[in-house]
Structures are given as C-alpha cells and as structure tokens.
Structure 1
Amino acid sequence: MDADALAELAKNRGLKLKRSRVRSPEKPGFGMFGLTDAAGEPVFGIRGKRALRASGEELESYLRGLEQDDWRKSLREAGASVSSGKRKKVREPVAAEIAAPEATPVANLKQPPPPALREAKGKDAEQLAELYALLGHAIAPELVRKNVKALARSGEPVLVIAQGDTVLGTCAYHATPMPHRDPPVGRITVLVLTEEARGKGFGRQLVAEAERRLGKLGCGMVEVTSNDRLREAHAFYRHLGYERTSMRFAKPLGGG
C-alpha cells in the first residue's frame, strides 16, 4: 500500500499520517511513517515527538487491526440487550447471523487452514509465475516449475507462504562462495507477496527462514537487491536490519 493509500486509511480512522522528510535512502528514518490523533498527539510509530519508526507494512497492519476492533465492537452492540432492571447477558452473535439469520451456522462451515510456510512444489508454478509478474518478471509457469525442481535438487528450495493450495507469498535464496571472501555470501534472490497478504508479517517470516537456511549453509552475510522504484520494499529491508552498501550494475548477455 502506497503512502497516499495509507493516508486515506488513517483519515478513515480519525488519524493523521506523518511521513518521513528524509529524502536520502542512506539516512536513518527514510521511508518511515507514524500516526497522530486530531490534536497532533503521537498514536503509533512515533518515538518522542518527531522520530518516525513504523514501516508501511507495520502501519497498514495497525490500521487494519483498528478496523477489526471496530467490527467486533459493532457485533457486541448488535447483540446487547438492556432490561428495566438488571442488564441481561446475551451471547455475542456471529457475523453470519447478523447478515442472514437463515444462513448455515458458521460452526458448520469448513474453515480455511491457517497460512503456513513450506517449500514450493511443482503445482505452485502457475501462482508463482503470477507473483513474479508483480515484480515485472514475465516467465512461463513451465519454466518456473523447472527452476523450482532444480533449486530443490541443489539444496536451496524455493519458500512459500500458503493457505491450503493458495500461495500468498514466496522467497528464494542462494549461497555463493566468493574467491575474495570467507565464509560464503548468502543472497535473497526474490521476495514477493500478493497485494492482499502484505502487512501481515508474512514477508518477515519468509526472510527469517531464508536467513536461517543460509546460516546452515555456512554464509556469514546476507545480501538482497531491490529495484529502485520499490521504495516500500527498501524501508521493509531497513526495518529488518539491512543496510545499503553498494550499487548494482547489470548487463544482458547476447543469446541469453
């Protein structure tokens, strides 16, 4: 979610979005946000009076949480009953009972499994190709399936966060021995989530698992590259402790 969308979401909650004025990616506070109330008092993501400390993902998660709280409050109010004497305790109705009393009880509906982190499978190829397209990388599902199998055989399987058969996000990593460095250097080669899955901590889980596996492969450092236009991604990595250390240059090879 971009800054304008965050500002609108905050406004709907009666809050004001504060954006970092730091323009240089190398300086602390770049890409950070905070929230204040109508009187200008800090509410979230602000240390002291001025320092902004919340990433876009964290801010969106916080605001979504406020929406959930209001939804639960509405349910409680819909189920409240007050008599002329003692207040009667009433069971809190579920959403399905409020919207459609004749509907099938929620208890009888099959609930989706919770999102879980696992290694990618060949059947995930089509969804993975759609996720890579969000980063501007167009690739056929058949090639993704081939690459997933090859990486699994090499001991560096692609990671996914999935809810049942639905892939919500993915991360890949690689350990590279260097002639001028010891130990090997690890690299996160791709990290992407669906729009709906962002701001829920899934990216943090994927990065943590990739770092754990790279550590087991003997890496002493982890690198990640990110397109210049993905400013929110840069703030996300900085929040996880990554620092900008170099510039990346690339050149396509003929026939490749």
Structure 2
Amino acid sequence: MRRATTKDIPQIVRMLADDPLGSTREVVSDPVDAGYLAAFQAIARDPNQYLAVAEVAGRVVGTLQLTFLPGLSHRGAWRAQIEAVRVDTPARGTGLGRQMIAWAQHEARQRGCRMVQLTSSASRKDAHRFYEGLGFEQSHAGFKLVL
C-alpha cells in the first residue's frame, strides 16, 4: 500500500467504474476528467485524507480512501472512515481486499483512532458479507441527499 499519485488516477477511476453502481456515475476518459484531478488535489492537500493504492509487481490493483475524523462523541475520539474500496477484477479473490482493510485498520490505530467505520450501498450484498467476515457490524441506517 502506498499513497496515490496523479499517475494513478486513470486506474483508480477504472476500478471505481468497474461495477454496476460505478458504471453509471464514473467517467473513464483520456485525458482524465478535470473533476477527478481537482478532487485528487484537494485530497492530497488535506492531512486527514489518505488516498491509497495497492500495488503488485508495479501495477495498481486496489484502492481505498481513508479519512480521519475528529469528533466530540465517545469522549473526543477520532475515527477513521474507509471509502471507495475497490480491487481490480483480475486480483479479486486473492485476499488483497483483506490486506487492504487490515492496512487501513493499522493506519487508523497509528493515528490514534478508536474506531474504523465504513459505508456500503444497500445493493452490495457481497461487500456486506465481506465486511462482516472481517468483524464489521452493521450498526446504522444511512441517508443521503443528492445536491
């Protein structure tokens, strides 16, 4: 696992687009859409953001974003939010996803976080089984409002 660079953006976007939900909202283009570049720059400047890629034999095969969140609840505990977890299709089933989540948990502990949380679309039943198998518990109902 390493911090993503601008050179990784095309492969990250391809992985984000490689599922039924992502295929309807992501734009795989050359050159990379300016919105992705602006978002990457904002993430890279923010010390509480870590856009990570998993690299095997020089090839990016996984990604996730780790966000460190301060809060007053739980006596001022920091928490880490894991988002946009993707493993490239050929690398699925190899244990890479488990390794990526373990890495994220380690990073969260290193930053003093007292919990790790994530969200997953209600339609991603396989992902839910994966996270539950790693010890995550479904604890909240999520809501969103598209602006």
Give your verdict on TM over 0.5: yes
| Residue pairs, 1:176-187, within 5 angstroms | 176-181=69-74, 182-187=76-81
Amino acid at match of 2:56: Q
Task: Count how many residue pairs are aligned between Structure 1 and Structure 2.
Answer: 137
Structure 1: distance between partners of 2:125 and 2:116 = 20
Partner residue in 1 for 2:90 = 196
Equivalent residue for 2:26, pick from 131, 138, 144: 138
Quote the offset at 1:165 in angstroms: 4.6
Partner residue in 2 for 1:166 = 59
Amino acid at match of 1:129: V
Structure 1: distance between partners of 2:56 and 2:35 = 24
Partner residue in 2 for 1:126 = 10
Sequence identity (%): 30
Amino acid at match of 1:138: E
Equivalent residue for 2:45, pick from 138, 141, 153: 153
Structure 1: distance between partners of 2:13 and 2:106 = 25
The answer as to whether partners of 1:174 and 1:214 remain within 8 angstroms in 2 is no
How does the TM-score come out when normalised to structure 2?
0.82
Structure 2: distance between partners of 1:173 and 1:180 = 20
| Residue pairs, 1:1-256, within 5 angstroms | 117-134=1-18, 135-136=21-22, 137-139=25-27, 141=32, 142-155=34-47, 156-181=49-74, 182-253=76-147
The answer as to whether partners of 1:159 and 1:206 remain within 8 angstroms in 2 is no
RCO greater where, 1 or 2, for CA within 8 Å and sep 6 or more? 2
Structure 1: distance between partners of 2:35 and 2:7 = 12
- The structure-2 alpha-carbon separation of the partners of 1:157 and 1:149, relative to structure 1 and needing over 3 Å to count, comes to farther
Structure 2: distance between partners of 1:180 and 1:211 = 20
Quote the offset at 1:160 in angstroms: 1.0
Unaligned runs of 5+ in 2: none
Q: What do the CA deviations read for 1:53-106 (whole angstroms, capped 9, x no partner)?
A: xxxxxxxxxxxxxxxxxxxxxxxxxxxxxxxxxxxxxxxxxxxxxxxxxxxxxx
The answer as to whether partners of 2:63 and 2:85 remain within 8 angstroms in 1 is yes
The answer as to whether partners of 2:79 and 2:115 remain within 8 angstroms in 1 is yes
Unaligned runs of 5+ in 1: 1-116
- The structure-2 alpha-carbon separation of the partners of 1:167 and 1:131, relative to structure 1 and needing over 3 Å to count, comes to same
Structure 1: distance between partners of 2:10 and 2:124 = 24
Amino acid at match of 1:218: G
- Secondary structure of the 1:229 match is coil
Structure 2: distance between partners of 1:143 and 1:212 = 30
